[in-house]
Structure 1
Amino acid sequence: MDDISYFKKAEAESLKNLVDIAISKKLEEVNTMEESLITKLKLQETTYEEYIDYLENLDTEFHSFLSLSNIKDLVSEDFENFEIKHIPETTKPVLPKFTFGQFCEDDISKLLGNISVPYIEPAMRKIKPMENTSSELKPTGKERKKEGEKPSRKQTLSLSSSVTKVWEYKVTWVDDVYHISIDKSGRRQLWISDIHANLVKTKQALKKNQLQKIQTSGGTEGYHTVTNDGDLIFADRENNVISRLSPGNTCMIRGFIKTGDWGPLSTHSSHINRDLLVGMINEIGQSKVTRYNKTGTEIQNMQRDNKGQQLYKYSHYITENINGNICVSDYMICAVVVIDKSGQYRFSYTGQGSELDPYGICTDVLGHIIICDAQSDTVHLLDQDGQFLSLLLTSQQGVWGPRSVCVDDKNNLLVGQRFTNTVRVYKYLHG
């Protein structure tokens, strides 16, 4: 039922956007009509002004005849044939009329889809007696491995009492590591970008790990992400488009999504429903988050809170938590802003003591929110409700200028930094 409520809200938001677009076009038509009428009226005004000037000149000329020296001109043959010009004719403007649209609540309801319970005869639940199941034991870890079943990790994992560096490795073709996107489709590959818009695909933890390089228009934002299928999605802010690259570079779709007047900054592919979340900014300094479905259709915009206030100023990193919350790192307001999946504001995190300068952000299987703080050269750990838990990494663990974080499929934390192309890998969960 939660999914139905979510999709209904998303559908309503999409309909609202369409209404806004239609109204905008109608207002443009009204403005065009108004400008056309004003132009015609000004031309008529010019005509009447010219005729008034003509009459004033004629009046001046007639007054000159009042003197005795010019009286003979009044009886001349030329004066007898003189005619005053007629008042120029102009057309009366035809004003447009507004016809009210014919719609009702039922019409809107039809546009928002229908919810119904399918007419299917309920199937009877089959419940085995206890005596028949008492001997059926859950498969062991070895049996799970043999059968290809992945054991549940969430229930057994917890925070470690200390953080341990597992390994580190350098990534050539980049000068630093401003964002990391991990491919969780089983290929153990990463996409890493630096401040100079170099985007590189690497094989995790191998010395000769560089597989591919793309020159982009990105920089110090989390502008790329990897889908569940292993597709790379990256934003092109210069051309206001989002592109898609399939594994093996078999199909590059440039302009997979066109963002219009909004420049895409950050992207995140949802592992919950395969939606694409995009942080954007426009030319007048407004910022928002837009949700697209997996085919690239816009379904939701999130820009303001319930009081009409702007949620963001520069949504340059974005991620999604296990509960569907959307977490946005915004260094221009010195905060991480969290909203729920329907776009309702939940909370903001502004740091501990000193002002927060948030960059890279990610979440883990326990719902923790992990944030890079460029101000204090630390990595912050929060619970999913925004409560501060600890400074997960500091200079004591060898971290300087953290800019990017992500968690791999083994629940290791990968950290990228400014001024170095080294990726450091830490173990912070146990179980």
Structure 2
Amino acid sequence: MKTTQKSPEAGSSPPVKQLLDEPETVTTIVTGYTELYNVACLSDEEIWTRGNDSALKLYSINHRPLLKSITTKSRYTPDTIAVTKRRDLVYTDYWDRTVNIVKDEKIEEVIRLQNWKPQGICSTSSGDLLVIMISDDYKQTKVVCYSGSTEKQSIQFDNKGKLLYSSSSYYRYITENRNLDVCVSDSGAGAVVVVNQAGELRFWYTGHSPALKNEIQSHRNHHRQSKSHPYS
């Protein structure tokens, strides 16, 4: 077994779990999706899934039955799912421009955007929501932190006023790491973009050694846009 030491920045974070030298299959679940896109852990035994239709499905990995299946409010395919600190499911709806939360199998709209469409979402250690979104004209991308439906912070530019994220229709995922940095996998840029809590750029990672933004080639713009699916 391999262990990773806790970093000083992590503070009172939970102890780091041990990592296996080789991945181990615990169980196999047939979801019924033609394509499975996301998995979000509700617990060590239960997982939410989303695929290429409008159903959000909850499975038990030990007993493998389908525990719940919930259809999105708009009946569009959800874009990203996450589980909050309170164990509620949240999902983004790209075409409906909304962020929604599922409580007791009922869907509540938390955020409705104008001139922007939501992509990736995650729940932070403090209980806020981080949402990455793209403008209707596909020319701007930003990360917004919400407390409930209230916007707390917007992250879009570096300290030189340049865009942090690519301006393409390609997909992006977002998460918060143990140092409380905001990490975005930006497929349009071919990089993971990491900023600190203040929204200041820490580094870009392109699969080799981390590099500063000014050492990376220019953003890959003007990618093909697809009407059948927002991310080509």
* TM-score interval (norm. to shorter): 0.7 to 0.9
Tell whether the 8 Å contact from 1:267 to 1:318 is kept in structure 2 after alignment: yes
Equivalent in the alignment of 2:137: 284
Equivalent in the alignment of 1:258: 112
Tell whether the 8 Å contact from 1:280 to 1:315 is kept in structure 2 after alignment: no
Equivalent in the alignment of 2:202: 346
Does the alignment pair 1:324 with 2:166?
Answer: no
- What is the CA-CA distance between 1:327 and the residue it aligns to? 0.7
Question: Equivalent residues in 2 for 1:299-378 (5 A)?
Answer: 299-313=152-166, 314=170, 316-352=172-208
Tell whether the 8 Å contact from 1:218 to 1:235 is kept in structure 2 after alignment: no
Tell whether the 8 Å contact from 2:144 to 2:155 is kept in structure 1 after alignment: yes
Q: Which runs of 4+ in 1 moved over 4 A?
A: 157-160
Which whole-Å CA distance do the structure 2 matches of 1:217 and 1:281 have between them? Answer: 18
Q: TM-score, normalised by structure 2?
A: 0.74
Max Rg structure: 1
Equivalent in the alignment of 2:42: 183
- What is the CA-CA distance between 1:210 and the residue it aligns to? 4.0
One-letter amino acid of the counterpart of residue 181, structure 2: N
Equivalent in the alignment of 1:193: 50
Where structure 1 has 5 or more consecutive residues not aligned to the other structure, the ranges are 1-151, 353-381, 388-431
Which whole-Å CA distance do the structure 1 matches of 2:113 and 2:56 have between them? Answer: 21
Q: TM-score, normalised by structure 1?
A: 0.41
Structure 1 or 2: larger helix share? 1
Tell whether the 8 Å contact from 2:27 to 2:61 is kept in structure 1 after alignment: no
Q: Relative to structure 1, is the Cα distance of residues 351 and 218 closer, same or farther in structure 2, using a 3 angstrom cutoff? A: farther
One-letter amino acid of the counterpart of residue 149, structure 2: G
Tell whether the 8 Å contact from 1:172 to 1:210 is kept in structure 2 after alignment: no
Which whole-Å CA distance do the structure 1 matches of 2:56 and 2:86 have between them? Answer: 19
Equivalent in the alignment of 2:31: 172
Which whole-Å CA distance do the structure 2 matches of 1:301 and 1:321 have between them? Answer: 18
Instruction: Report the secondary structure of 2:189's partner residue.
Output: coil
Instruction: Report the secondary structure of 2:22's partner residue.
Output: strand
- What is the CA-CA distance between 1:332 and the residue it aligns to? 0.8
**Higher normalized contact order (CA 8 Å, seq sep 6+, divided by chain length):** 1
- What is the CA-CA distance between 1:173 and the residue it aligns to? 3.0
Which whole-Å CA distance do the structure 2 matches of 1:207 and 1:189 have between them? Answer: 9
Question: CA offsets, 1:124-161, max 9 Å, x none?
Answer: xxxxxxxxxxxxxxxxxxxxxxxxxxxx633xx5544x
Tell me how many residue pairs correspond in the alignment: 192
Tell whether the 8 Å contact from 2:119 to 2:131 is kept in structure 1 after alignment: yes
Q: RMSD value over aligned CA atoms?
A: 2.3
- What is the CA-CA distance between 1:239 and the residue it aligns to? 1.9
Equivalent in the alignment of 2:62: 205
